[in-house]
Amino acid sequence: MPLDPLCARKTDSSAATGLLTVAQRHFFDQMLGKGAPYDRRTTIPRGQAEESDMIMLPVTRSGPLDDGDVTATELTALLREHGTTDREVLQVKSITQAKARHVLPVKLLVYTDSDRNDIEIGVVIDGELSKAHELALIGHGGAKALNITIAPPPERPLLDPDLEKARIPLEEVTQHRAEQAALQLGSQPPTPGPPAAQEPQADEIRAIGVFEHPDILDEALSHARRRLLIISPWIKNAIITTTFLSKLEGRLTRGVKVDIAYGYEGNDTKTDAAAVRKLTNLAKRYPDKFTFTRLKATHAKVPPYDDVWVTTSFNWLSFKGDPDRTYRMEEGSLVRNRQNADTQYDRYLALIDDQRR
């Protein structure tokens, strides 16, 4: 969400000191067209947001602010938001805008009906829905203005018949997780103590919903102990972040074998060259542990790690950077079993060798 840092030079009144003139920095919310009490630590430079392929929400106004765009009453309210209750702004003498533009990262919640005819968007700031920003977004055209559309989900890749028969469906998985969450909310917090050693998880074959995919990728990057293999048609900067690279290098320094492959025929338009360069450089630093391969063509989208493999239509390394912003409720399957994982790991390594460009 676009913000403008501004410095307001104002006249304050204080019970102890009388009148004085001070300068104080605040943010001007360009979407709402008024000053905002955002913490500077939660904002980022606009260039960083653009590099991460964030959606820029529309603004009510752009360009330089006039001195009358922020009133003394508004600045007093901002002081109250920041906990300053012993001062009142009497007059705004001038406003100076900082050269560096910042934005506030927010979350968009996309809602639609079963027929995908109506799309609504919620704006979440600091963990809470903002009705003011939602209304402002509606005024600018809502989902249509952001080029957000909903498409039917692609067909789920099927498992072998025996695995398919044992697979726990998504509805049952979702219900079980909801029950677990309810139990945790109602239970007493655990007594602090040393972290318990991570126990190997039991075999499982279950569905995974679209929103669980990023968590599975993060689990692999954070906890893989022996191997990690990712195949994705495209690679985007929004995924290959500093955090991603740091976690990946953390696996490499612990001796984990990593293989990443990408490529979709001759089409590289959906892949960011900078993201490829970052992974290439990391592979050069760990030639014995990390192979990074451009394939001739692949439709495979899998991340086998340790004793786990996932089959899905989800694009693991580009899901945040799809410029057409078409949302699909993609569903996949997770199989946690050493023998099956070994088979799939060998299969996809062979595919990489065969499709190596």
Looking at the predicted structure, is the pLDDT value of residue 350 above 60? Answer: yes
Most confident of 25-29, 297-301, 327-331, 335-339: 335-339
pLDDT grade for 337, boundaries at 50, 70 and 90: very high
Cα–Cα distance between 84 and 75 in angstroms, integer?
11
What dihedral do alpha carbons 19, 23, 26, 31 form, nearest 10°?
90
Strand ranges for the chain from DSSP E = 2-14, 18-29, 34-36, 44-45, 87-97, 102-103, 107-112, 119-125, 128-129, 149-150, 204-208, 227-232, 257-262, 290-294, 308-311, 326-327, 332-336
DSSP letter string, 214-255: HHHHHHHHHH-SSEEEEEES---TTTS-HHHHHHHHHHHHTT
pLDDT at 185: 79
Instruction: Supply the CATH classification number for the domain 153-174+202-355.
Output: 3.30.870.10
What's the average model confidence in pLDDT over 119-124? 91
pLDDT digits (tens, 9 = 90+) for 188-244: 665 665 555 555 567 899 999 988 999 999 999 999 999 999 999 999 988 999 999
* Residue indicated by tokens 């920041």: 82
pLDDT at 342: 95
Contacts of 234 (CB under 8 A, 6+ apart): 262, 264, 270, 271, 315, 317, 318, 321
Looking at the predicted structure, is the pLDDT value of residue 90 above 90? Answer: no
**What amino acid is encoded at 176 in this protein?**
H
Kindly report the pTM of this predicted structure.
Answer: 0.73
Looking at the predicted structure, is the pLDDT value of residue 281 above 70? Answer: yes
What's the average model confidence in pLDDT over 236-259? 95
Domain ranges of the chain: 2-103, 107-149, 153-174+202-355
What's the average model confidence in pLDDT over 80-102? 79
Task: Determine the longest span between alpha carbons in the chain, in angstroms.
Answer: 81
18-29/34-36 β-pairing: antiparallel
